[in-house]
Amino acid sequence: GLAGDPAFTPVVESSDASVGTADAQFVSNAGSSSVWKLTANVTNDWCTFDAFVDQNGKTYAADENGSVLVKVDQDGMRITARFKSAVDPLYNETDAESVTVAFTLSNDGVPLAGMDATPLARVEESIPYFDLSLYGLERYYRYHTAYGWGGYSDSQVVKRPTALHAYIWLAERYYLGLPAEDCGKGTSGIMSFKDDTLVSYFDATAAYRSGRLPAIVATQDPTSLYLSNFWGHDQNLMYYVNHAFPLMSKGVGATCDYVLLEDGDCIDMGLFSWWDFRLNGGFCQFDQDRYDINRGDKLDVRTLQASTLATADGSPAAPDAISTLKVALYDSNWNKVADLEGEGTYSYTFAQPGTYWLLATDPSAKDPNAACFAPAVAKVEVAGAPDRDENGTWLLGSADDMAWFQEWVNVKGHYDANAAITADIDMTSVEWTGLGETVGALYGLEALDGIRVDKAFAGVLDGRGHTLTVAFSAEPLCTLLTGTVKDLTITGTCSAPAAFTSCMSFGARLLNCVNQADVTGALPVGQSGERASAGIAVMVKDAYRVSMTEDTAMRIEGCVNKGSVSSSGNRAAGILGSVGSGMAGFKTTWGNMLTISGCSNEGVVSVADSRNGCVAGVVGTNSVQDCIVLENCSNAGEIVGGDANSAAGIVAHSETAIEQVISHCVNTGNITGAASYAGGILARGNGSASLIENCCNAGTISGHNAGGISSSNFSEIKNCYNLGDVKGSLTAGGIAAMHMGWQVPDTWSYIGAPVANCYTTGTVSGEGDVGAVFGKLYERGWEEAGYYSGTDYANVSAFWREGAAEAAIGAIGNACERFDTCEMRTAEQMHADAFAAELGDSFQTSCPYPVFAWQEAVDHSWDEGVVAIEPTLVSEGQRVFTCTVCGQTRAEVVPVADTSAIEEAIAAAKGIDASQLGEEQQQALAAAIAVAEAAAANNATTGSQLASALSSLELQAAKAEAAIAKAEAAAAQAAQAAAEKELEDAARAACEAAGTSYDEGKTPAENAAAAQSALAKAAADATAAQKAAETRADAAEKAAASGLKANTISVKAKTVKAKAKKKTVAKKAKAFVVKNAKGKVRFYKVKGHAKILVKQNGKVVVKKGLKAGKTYKVKVLVVAAGDKSHAPATKIVTCKVKVSKK
């Protein structure tokens, strides 16, 4: 072309002319291409320019003004300006089978009711998607848009319910009153329904009559659908979605066929009588659609309204406060509970749990000439909070109560709430996160001036002796505790780091708490990877520069751990895992910063990670400098040292403790494994001026450096004893493996830590420095470096059992030339009462060795004793008893032999009737009496001799009495047998007389009774027959007197033959031949054997039980009834029954 004309011209277009345009301006030709400046112009605020894209898919990014230079190398190259939405999509255009929405339908400001009286106020319904063509409304299909708003961009139907679907379904459900399963099928006739219908408000008062207005009429074009009728009402209506006028695009409203619904949407439709409601009204709402509170809480709500008028730019009006509405509270059945007073803000305190409804209505509600506000509806769910006592303490009696209390503390922020457990509770179903703030790695807790841990549980949880069954996963009962937990037992499972709390601080108290659950979790407690676990509490931690008072000191008192503690970390203890080093290094003037008192561990304690590990029955590690007291604590569980650093019954490692006191503590558990330091009370103590007093160990101690009381420490030890065996591969001592001195304050000098009034009896063994009292007394290296000063530091004394080890001290420092004697005593000497007295008032006698005065003494287990001196009739003897445990003996006086017992035995033996005995027994009894009389008369007879004579006499007398009793019993048995035989004979005779068989399976008495019954029945039958004959005779006489002819009856009896077997009937022919009888003839048995029966028809029945080969006779009465001309007649005949053999 000409110079200045473009060589190539592109075709530039907009991807959507409704939101933006594109311009092209030629710049220049460059070689084989033309350069064009392309500019995109956005015309819709809801969109922004994206990029230019050519026909080959190449993208050109524009500058901030929407411009870019593009080289065009062919005519007609198509380049499209692509735009994108600047706002989030208004609607979800994915398919959905159904959505659940909350629907409110009102008329003149008041909610209506459905045909089934359901209040249409936030009624939740699941609206299914259905094909609108079922209702002839396919032109209102919803299609996709380019941006989630705006015009349709394709012809693919979005199969998700729209507001139109909802209106059709709701009208069928509540205007026609159809069941839900019949709605949305297109078969209801809803689009043509015009019946005159009475529409009611939710309070059952009349709202309006439809007057044959249609149920629903949809007119005009898609996306401009107009509801000219709905619910039998005219077109004077409006609907909001999610409290706002629905939009299709900026400034353009959306109609119900366009509005796609999602789960949780709310639809408010208002019907009005006043045509100007759009100019003056609005749709009202509360500041929340739902409120969740607890019983006893006060609810504060605000009322808002969104105007029916759009803003100047066409966007919906934002909700504003409104103060003129009438607000009322209803229960779940929409019965009014209260009218709420207020002007825009309203309050109510709920006394009872349940579901409630808040309703705010137009002050002119139901007025057809003034009502213009659609009502506000909100749901209130009031949780059933537990009861409170008169002090405001929450009373927790169920798992739901526990879950509620956790939320009350952690979510509602009532960290100082008080509660009491009122029953044993299984709370394994509760998702427990612990009371108070989650601790996590709390090492280096921020230093605070005063108490400011505002998210710790600071209240009181009183267990009242009850038990919680738990399934703790990550957190224990309390996470961060500054309050009190007391009188509570926990059982179940616990993979949290402890059962009761992760961290105690600032005045926390754990009092009389018991854990029965096995603990397996661990919590970070240090800067070097330390992770601790414990049965009761993981750690105690305070902050620097805290002004400590008695109220802010911490206490663990009367707590017991019965579960195993299997820490996944490297710190573990039955009671307390770690005392954190955040505590201040000063001594308070009033007392102690932490006291652990009266606590005990019964569970096995171990760690999985033995790296620098510390394992103990009571406290794992103590990193504070002072003010810590452990008293009256004990351990009975096995402490699995493995290859940990420190393992002990009471405290594993006291790192920097100054003036720490361990008092009145007892270990009976075994310390197993090969820990570097293993001790019955304290494994390793690095602090100075500390004290171990009135403590004892009875468990076996094993480790590299093993001690009955302590492994390695700087503490003073007094009034302590060890009964357990000790084995150390490097050093071992009955009292301490290695005993050091303590540092003189503000110097590098050390003086000896005293050891006084202690004793040890356990066997001490090992491969290195081994001593019955100390394996090693002071480190040589320290002496050689000049750390020890003075010559009085070696102030140690103790008693040790002979044979416990070869020497009292295995190795001793060079400078230790003078120290108090460690005295060896035999076991017998140490068992004696005198040894306990030598130890002083702190001890008392016990078996096998002395115990503390505050401990329960064990009595000796005495055997039955041995008589050392026999008593006689005139002198006392002596019995010596020996303790089966320790071998101690004691003697008792055996009184002079008493002859009263043998004299009574002699008298009783002489009273026996010897005439009933045989000659040999008579002689033996007489001899025993003679020996007994001689023994009782001789003063020299010893007690054992007297007892022997008495025993012999009693034996012979017993034999004689037994023989007499046996003879008498035999005579009685014979008499009884004769009587029984006599009774049987009599019974058999009775059966024979009665004609009955003797039943061998029954007693004679039962057979006699049966015979008597048969005789009685036969007599009764004879009497009855006789009476019948007499009656017939009387009748005959009367007949003769009346002129009737005589009935000349002739009867002949046949002999009946029967076999002796089961029930037998004679031949079918009758047993009797009757002639000349007038009238009906009947036969009656008068006399005969009970086994032979005569039927009225003359047949004879013979039952089993008759004797074979015998002939029986039976008398039979034969009666002829007569007729009109003949009188009745009777005749008695005898029938024979002959029984043959089988």
Answer yes or no: do 401 and 349 share one domain.
Answer: no
Look at residue 561 and tell me if it is in a domain. Answer: yes
Mean pLDDT, range 220-244, rounded to an integer: 96
Q: Domain range for residue 141?
A: 92-271
What does each C-alpha distance from 263 to 141, 246, 767 come to in angstroms? 20, 16, 77
The better pLDDT of the pair 928, 548 is held by 928
Spatial separation of the C-alpha atoms in residues 942 and 947, rounded to whole Å: 9
The better pLDDT of the pair 813, 636 is held by 636
663: helix, strand or coil? strand
Enumerate residues 6+ apart whose C-beta is below 8 A from 51. 59, 60, 61, 62, 82
Residue 661, pLDDT score? 86
Contact 617, 605 (CB under 8 A): yes
Residue 587, pLDDT score? 39
For residue 182, give both structure tokens. 């019949």
For residue 903, give both structure tokens. 């004299």
Residue 909, pLDDT score? 86
Q: Alpha-carbon Rg of the chain, whole angstroms?
A: 56
Answer yes or no: do 98 and 241 share one domain.
Answer: yes
Spatial separation of the C-alpha atoms in residues 311 and 235, rounded to whole Å: 23
Enumerate residues 6+ apart whose C-beta is below 8 A from 526. 443, 578
Spatial separation of the C-alpha atoms in residues 60 and 38, rounded to whole Å: 10
Cα torsion at 359, 362, 368, 372 (round to 10°)? -110
For residue 22, give both structure tokens. 């594109």
Look at residue 749 and tell me if it is in a domain. Answer: yes
What is the pLDDT confidence band of residue 656, given thresholds at 50, 70 and 90? low
Answer yes or no: do 621 and 705 share one domain.
Answer: no
Taking alpha carbons only, the member of 90, 400, 405 closest to residue 242 is: 90
Look at residue 1081 and tell me if it is in a domain. Answer: yes
Taking alpha carbons only, the member of 386, 363, 358 closest to residue 373 is: 363
Answer yes or no: do 264 and 124 share one domain.
Answer: yes
Which tens digit of pLDDT belongs to each residue from 43-86?
A: 998 999 999 999 999 999 888 888 999 999 999 999 999 999 99
Tell me: pLDDT of 200 over 70.
yes
For residue 649, give both structure tokens. 């019954």
Look at residue 971 and tell me if it is in a domain. Answer: no
Spatial separation of the C-alpha atoms in residues 254 and 235, rounded to whole Å: 16
Look at residue 932 and tell me if it is in a domain. Answer: no
Residue 780, pLDDT score? 43
Spatial separation of the C-alpha atoms in residues 127 and 100, rounded to whole Å: 6
- For 789-802, the DSSP string reads -SS----EEEEEET
Answer yes or no: do 203 and 311 share one domain.
Answer: no
Answer yes or no: do 27 and 119 share one domain.
Answer: no
Tell me: pLDDT of 787 over 50.
no
Answer yes or no: do 1032 and 1056 share one domain.
Answer: yes
Which tens digit of pLDDT belongs to each residue from 964-991?
A: 888 888 888 887 887 778 878 877 877 7
Q: Is 251 left (phi over 0), alpha (psi -120 to 50) or beta?
A: left
The mean of the pLDDT values for the chain is: 87
Whole-prediction pTM: 0.60
What does each C-alpha distance from 323 to 14, 143, 286, 367 come to in angstroms? 50, 42, 12, 19
Look at residue 1056 and tell me if it is in a domain. Answer: yes
Which tens digit of pLDDT belongs to each residue from 522-545?
A: 887 765 677 889 999 998 876 433
Contact 474, 433 (CB under 8 A): yes
The CB-side HSE value for 871 (13 A sphere, CA atoms) comes to 19
Spatial separation of the C-alpha atoms in residues 161 and 687, rounded to whole Å: 76
Answer yes or no: do 257 and 319 share one domain.
Answer: no
Spatial separation of the C-alpha atoms in residues 451 and 547, rounded to whole Å: 9
Contact 606, 615 (CB under 8 A): yes
Spatial separation of the C-alpha atoms in residues 488 and 483, rounded to whole Å: 14
Which tens digit of pLDDT belongs to each residue from 439-487?
A: 553 434 443 333 345 688 999 999 999 999 999 998 999 998 989 999 9
Spatial separation of the C-alpha atoms in residues 532 and 552, rounded to whole Å: 24
Give bridge partners of residue 1102 from the DSSP assignment. Answer: 1064, 1092
For residue 555, give both structure tokens. 């206490």
Strand 11-14, strand 67-72: pairing: unpaired
Q: Which of 643, 667, 702 is the last residue of a domain?
A: 643
What is the pLDDT confidence band of residue 589, given thresholds at 50, 70 and 90? very low
- The 3-class secondary structure across 336-395, one letter per residue, is EEEEECECCEEEEECCCCEEEEEEEECCCCCCCCCCCEECEEEEEEEECCCEECCCCCEE
Sign, CA dihedral 236-241-243-249, equals negative
* Class of residue 258 by CB neighbours under 10 A (exposed 0-12, middle 13-18, buried 19+): buried
37: helix, strand or coil? strand
Number of Cβ within a 10 Å radius of residue 747: 10
Answer yes or no: do 807 and 828 share one domain.
Answer: yes
Spatial separation of the C-alpha atoms in residues 896 and 941, rounded to whole Å: 10
CATH assignment at residue 325 = 2.60.40.10
Spatial separation of the C-alpha atoms in residues 578 and 575, rounded to whole Å: 10
Tell me: pLDDT of 583 over 50.
no
Answer yes or no: do 265 and 312 share one domain.
Answer: no
For residue 6, give both structure tokens. 């473009």
Residue 946, pLDDT score? 86
Spatial separation of the C-alpha atoms in residues 907 and 913, rounded to whole Å: 13
The better pLDDT of the pair 1061, 19 is held by 19
Enumerate residues 6+ apart whose C-beta is below 8 A from 104. 111, 120, 121, 122, 123, 266, 267, 268, 269, 374, 375, 377
Look at residue 548 and tell me if it is in a domain. Answer: yes
Spatial separation of the C-alpha atoms in residues 729 and 770, rounded to whole Å: 9
What is the pLDDT confidence band of residue 654, given thresholds at 50, 70 and 90? confident
Which tens digit of pLDDT belongs to each residue from 883-920?
A: 999 888 899 999 988 888 888 888 988 888 888 888 88
Q: Which of 205, 240, 271 is the last residue of a domain?
A: 271
Sign, CA dihedral 46-49-50-52, equals positive
Answer yes or no: do 289 and 247 share one domain.
Answer: no
Residue 785, pLDDT score? 44
Mean pLDDT, range 379-386, rounded to an integer: 89
Look at residue 556 and tell me if it is in a domain. Answer: yes
Spatial separation of the C-alpha atoms in residues 198 and 192, rounded to whole Å: 17
What is the pLDDT confidence band of residue 1028, given thresholds at 50, 70 and 90? low
| Helices and strands (H, E) in the chain, number of each type | 10, 94
Spatial separation of the C-alpha atoms in residues 686 and 675, rounded to whole Å: 17
Percentage of the chain with pLDDT > 70? Answer: 88
For residue 43, give both structure tokens. 């015309």
Tell me: pLDDT of 687 over 70.
no
Q: Chain centroid to CA 221: how far?
A: 63
936: helix, strand or coil? helix
Q: Which of 385, 412, 446 is the last residue of a domain?
A: 385
Domain count of the chain? 6
Enumerate residues 6+ apart whose C-beta is below 8 A from 536. 498, 499, 500, 501, 510, 513, 515, 556, 559, 561, 574, 575, 576, 599
- For 559-615, the DSSP string reads -EE-S-EEESSSEEESSEEEE-TTS-SS--SSS-SEEEES-EE-S-EEES--TT-EE
The CB-side HSE value for 890 (13 A sphere, CA atoms) comes to 13
968: helix, strand or coil? helix
Spatial separation of the C-alpha atoms in residues 346 and 556, rounded to whole Å: 47
Tell me: pLDDT of 262 over 60.
yes
Tell me: pLDDT of 87 over 80.
yes
Question: At CA 395, angle to CA 391 and CA 397, rounded to 5?
Answer: 170
Mean pLDDT, range 211-217, rounded to an integer: 95
Answer yes or no: do 437 and 501 share one domain.
Answer: yes
Residue 519, pLDDT score? 95
